[in-house]
Amino acid sequence: MVVIPVWIVIDLLTNSVSLLNAYRITEKKLRSWPYAFAGILAILINWIWNLMKYT
């Protein structure tokens, strides 16, 4: 949460698109099956844990 605003300012000052390129690479990796499955599994575990915690 601290790095992204600084990165945006640096990109604006240097007139580059490094943040956009990094976002595209990260998005492409997260769309692959193992990463997507791990993310969905983590969300489901968190959801189940919260349901059990408050019941």
How confident is the model at residue 40, as a pLDDT? 95
How confident is the model at residue 5, as a pLDDT? 96
How confident is the model at residue 1, as a pLDDT? 84
How confident is the model at residue 54, as a pLDDT? 85
Taking residue 7's Cβ as centre, other Cβ atoms within 10 Å add up to 13
Q: What is the per-residue pLDDT across 25-55, written as a single tens digit (0 to 9) for each?
A: 999 998 999 999 999 999 999 999 999 998 7
Reported pTM: 0.67
Report CA torsion sign: 22, 23, 29, 30.
positive
